[in-house]
Amino acid sequence: MDGAIVVRETGGPRVLEWSTLEPGEPGPGEVLVRHTAVGLNFIDVYHRTGLYPLDLPFTPGVEGAGVVEAVGGGVDDLEVGARVAYTSNGPVGSYREGRVLDRSRLVRLPDGISDETAAAVMVKGATVEYLVRRTYPVQRGDFVLLTAAAGGVGLVACQWLRALGAVVIGTVGSEEKAELARENGCDHVILYRTEDITARVREITDGKGCAVAYDSVGKSTFEASLDSLARRGMMVTFGNASGPVEPLPPLSLARKGSLYLTRPSVAHYYSTRAETKEGLGALFDMILDGHIDPHIGARYPLREVADAHRALENRETVGSTVLLV
């Protein structure tokens, strides 16, 4: 039996119980992975609270890194002892010491990427990859608005956008986070608690607005992000840290400049093994080439994940948080 976090009822961090679960044996096309590090993501909070409902009981967690412990029939390209990682294109359940996964979810880790780095960046990096390469392919010189620029996704996005030659306008909640965002490639920083986001964007862009807004905060920043767009700009809402966004009449998009609005997810951009391999390959190349250096702001033992959730919800975290197994 392995140690695992189990949620038997939705609610606050207290519902994250340390328990034991049988990892099982890998069947055909499956692999048993022994975790070494697991990533913490805001979607874990949504699952825990019931905002994104799951059948109870369940083990949270959508990404992890570790070592292959056993392989099932038909798996001939991964061997016992291989270092692997996975992102959130499948069932939850990474808050545990070991688990069985379909081979299609796993990628082999290059020697130059540590397990902790992988756990810190798999979901966040995959998210940034599809956002800046496929949802809206960012071009050199584009003005880009990025909320939560000092968060886990935000810092990776700042670095990737810098490499693409974009002009990054990031929103943060404190001067400390502003400095961190600048260090990672953010050209202009807006302190959203004291500054008007839309007014500052218009000032920075000489009234033109941004080609794209990437908004992971949700309810409290959605309108400001929408109003910061250039004519025919794209609004990409991909998170609800402050709560879900209110319904929006489609006609308002026309009135604000024939805007585009999308709500993407990793699952729809990493739905096949080929997409996963290509997307994560691009991410690994960015890391190995030195364009992205994931910032790990905190590490917690897996047993203490409730404390990590509290810090995340209170916006006390910067960069990525890694749970050590």
Show the domains of the chain with their CATH numbers: 2-121+267-324 (3.90.180.10), 140-263 (3.40.50.720)
> What is the block-wise mean pLDDT of the chain (325 residues), using blocks of 10 residues?
96 97 95 98 94 96 97 96 92 97 93 95 95 98 97 94 98 95 97 96 98 95 97 95 89 97 94 89 96 93 97 88 96
The Cα–Cα gap between 272 and 290 comes to: 27
The Cα–Cα gap between 269 and 245 comes to: 22
- The residue length of the chain stands at 325
Question: For residue 209, what pLDDT is reported?
Answer: 98
Coil, strand or helix at 293: coil
Question: For residue 90, what pLDDT is reported?
Answer: 84
In single-letter form, the type of residue at position 299 comes to: R
Burial class (CB in 10 A: 0-12, 13-18, 19+), 179: middle
> How many Cα atoms within 13 Å fall on the side-chain side of residue 72?
15
Any idea what DSSP says for residue 264? Answer: -
The two three-digit tokens of residue 31, written as one number: 């692999």
Question: For residue 32, what pLDDT is reported?
Answer: 98
Question: For residue 241, what pLDDT is reported?
Answer: 81
The Cα–Cα gap between 266 and 67 comes to: 23
